[in-house]
Amino acid sequence: MLTHLSFKGFLGRRLQLGVCGSIAAYKALDLVRMFRDTGTDVGATLTDSARQFVTPLSFEALGASPVFSAMYPVGDDVFGHLTPGEAAHAMLIAPATASTLARLANGLADDMLSCQALAFPKPLVIAPAMNPRMWHNAATQANWETLKARGHVCIEPGCGRTACMEEGRGRLADLNEIFLYGLRALTPQDMAGQTVMITLGPTREKWDGVRFWSNPSSGTMGACFAVAAWLRGATVHAVTGPGTPWLPSMISRYDVTSAKEMFEAAEGLWPTMDIGVFTAAVADFSPIPFGDEKFKKGAEELVVRFASTTDILKTLGAAKKEGQRIVGFAAETSSMQENALKKLRAKNADMVVGNIVGRADSGFQSPTNEVFVTDRNGRQEEWPVQPKTEVAWRVLDWLLQL
């Protein structure tokens, strides 16, 4: 799993996974693994057609329990059709076939999965997969619109070549996005109605036709914030420097290269934001450009002049309106606490997170961070090395209490 999707705090949450008869059914096994990695308990329900592609034993071997299949199971569990509605916090059907969409839209309950879905009291998360012509059929589209109108979370299928070798819309959506939609359904929506801007990654300041000034930031910390805020219900806008991680399509992404471009994008977004999280490692200086041609080696020494760039955090902090909140980051090689406290005062931030860079377990290009956190009320904490996903989640917890 991608580092910035590896959230672990879902112990005690339960998801019911419905699997229908599509060649994409094998991908549901990966979904079980992904949810189990978060700590989520997973149950599974396989239709008769799904069992032609995958077996109940495969799901059981990966830790799914219970696994339902037949409408009338052998044994004492005569109320299995009600179990997910009583025990699960979310229900995801992936892949969903045209037949299952029709059942769901029309309230039919003639197999175990449709019974469980009909008895489930919360919105379903539905990810279809089928032949493009089946997907575009008027009946399928009418059923799809009905399900959306009822408030279910409907994930559009992707475009590309399907198993039948046809090109078009109908293949199962990106598995990471399906996973995140399911995880969001398990997550308390304590940031619903909030609009959040994240800056992340490095900037590159061009010098000649092939060289630039930059730093080794990977953008992982900011990506963790972006995903965490979206999981908790926020609308998220990410201003992303070069080389930053994949983000789901549900997050609005603005790819930039230079500090100037990052400032312009952030400045344009900031007036309508509720929260700004500034994790980007923005170059404080930009070289005076040599030009578009490659500089050729000649003299033994090379002198490059630099000009300062706009301080994005300070500038937007000064423009902060009542009700807006700012989290800044301080990447340091020493004196982390002292520098974080200075930044808190100088940048008009509500919180500052300081971290030491240049270590294998903290800072740039590491999946973990050791941080010092402080806020405008004088609260201070030191957190030991932990996954960046956990740092992001805990910082958002703290911010919501300010």
Locate 89 and state its tokens: 């916090």
20 assigned to active site: no
Spatial distance between the Cα atoms of 157 and 351, rounded to a whole number of angstroms: 40
Q: What is the CA radius of gyration of the chain?
A: 25
- Selecting among 20, 115, 159, 164, the annotated active-site residue is 164
Q: How many CB atoms lie within 10 A of CB 166?
A: 13
Spatial distance between the Cα atoms of 149 and 151, rounded to a whole number of angstroms: 5
Which of these, 266, 174, 191, 271, lies nearest to 225 by C-alpha position? 191
Residue 284 among known ligand-binding residues: yes
Spatial distance between the Cα atoms of 384 and 402, rounded to a whole number of angstroms: 22
Residue 321 among known ligand-binding residues: no
Task: Please report the beta strands in 88-182, taking only residues with DSSP state E, as ranges in sequence order.
Answer: 90-96, 125-128, 153-154, 158-161, 167-171
Residue 122 among known ligand-binding residues: no
Q: Are 133 and 155 in contact (CB under 8 A)?
A: no
Residue 343 among known ligand-binding residues: yes
Residue 148 among known ligand-binding residues: no
- The gap from C-alpha 265 to its chain's centroid, in whole angstroms, comes to 21
Q: How far apart are the first and last CA of the chain?
A: 32
User: Which positions ≥6 away from 345 have C-beta within 8 Å?
Assistant: none
Would you list which residues are annotated within the binding site? 284, 294, 329, 343, 347
Residues noted as catalytic: 164
Would you list which residues are annotated within the binding site for CTP? 284, 294, 329, 343, 347
